[in-house]
Amino acid sequence: MFLMFERRNFKSFITFDIYTIVVFNFILILYLLLLFQPLGLNKLPFYLVFIISLGYSIMPILAYTIIVIVSKPFVYKKWSIMNEFIIYNCLLLFIWFLSFMYMTFCNEMLRKIWFNIQEKTETIDYPNFKLSIFYTLIIGYAIYFLNQIFYNFYVEYRKSNLKEIKEDFIINKKITLKGKNKNEELTIMENSLICIESEKHYINIFFLNETNDKLTKKTFRNSLKNIEFQTAKNHNIYRCHNSYLINIKMLISVRGNSHQSFAKIKYFPNKIPISQRKINFMKKLD
């Protein structure tokens, strides 16, 4: 469930809001365990169920926090999809390891203290070694990809809401854009941003320099999808094409037909292509 707050498409989960994730998942896991009482917890008194569930809720949080602390410098230094895949799998396996060890510990404590049984036996149910790894990986991957699908829909809806765009038009907010490499960060006012262009594994940010109002370009290692997620709350930053995010406040005109259209924006010398499925929306803004 850590990925419910993810705002990315292969953006490193190391950049998540850690505190939000920890609080949300602790409450969610504890609630689900108390509600369904799996693993034979329904055989125990409620106060024992609560204590054991509390421990279960802490294990994934502990695993996530440790992975974030250990891998954060490495991810910021050199990020790639392969690094993301390796670190995420390490997270899932670490969650499995801590949870499995905790289950074993609970079984021993219940056997000796609560049930006063000396011989080796199971007092709570849990899947065998291989099945527990399998369940952890499958559920982890399912949550990861479902999050991508649902959040993509959410961003698309927010960015296509004309009412919110019009209400936001006169507000000049601060925008912070981050790259994958360390120290790649830019904070500017929304009215200074012109557009963001994708170029292979990099993005070019075009904005007006606050000191001399000249067109300035800054390049970060990142994908346009990641930047789109970073600007999800800025309704005037719109993805009009696979290779471009534009500031709608800078829009001058939209020209072309239903098959091929281009946008002209202030201070930018080149015409910006518009995807076919976004032409009608862009014309409403013209």
Collect all residues with Cβ–Cβ distance below 8 Å to 191 and sequence separation of at least 6: 172, 247, 249
Tokens of 5: 């707050």
DSSP string, 143-202: HHHHHHHHHHHHHHHHHT-HHHHHHHTT---EEEEE-SSTT-EEEEEGGGEEEEEEETTE
Identify each DSSP E strand in the chain by its residue range: 174-178, 185-189, 193-199, 202-208, 215-221, 237-241, 244-247, 251-256, 261-265, 272-274
The residue among 182, 175, 179 whose CA lies nearest residue 220 is 179
Q: pLDDT per residue over 204-258, tens digit each?
A: 999 998 888 889 999 999 989 889 888 877 878 889 999 999 998 889 899 988 7
Cβ 173 vs Cβ 189: under 8 Å: yes
Question: Residues 73-117: pLDDT tens digits?
Answer: 655 555 566 776 777 788 888 888 888 888 888 877 776 666 554
pLDDT at 15: 44
Structure tokens at 157: 């809806």
- Predicted TM-score of the model (pTM): 0.51
pLDDT at position 127 over 70: no
Neighbours of 152 (CB within 10 A): 14
Cβ neighbours of residue 9 closer than 8 Å, sequence gap 6 or more = 148, 152, 223, 225, 226, 229
∠259-196-260 over CA atoms, to 5°?
5
Q: Encoding tokens for residue 232?
A: 């999800």
Helix (H, G, I), strand (E, B) or coil at 67: helix
Q: What is the pLDDT of residues 146-199, one digit of tens each?
A: 666 665 665 555 555 555 554 455 567 788 999 988 889 999 988 899 999 999
User: Band of the pLDDT at 4, cuts 50, 70, 90?
Assistant: very low
What are the chain's domains? Answer: 2-159 (no CATH), 163-285 (2.40.50.1020)
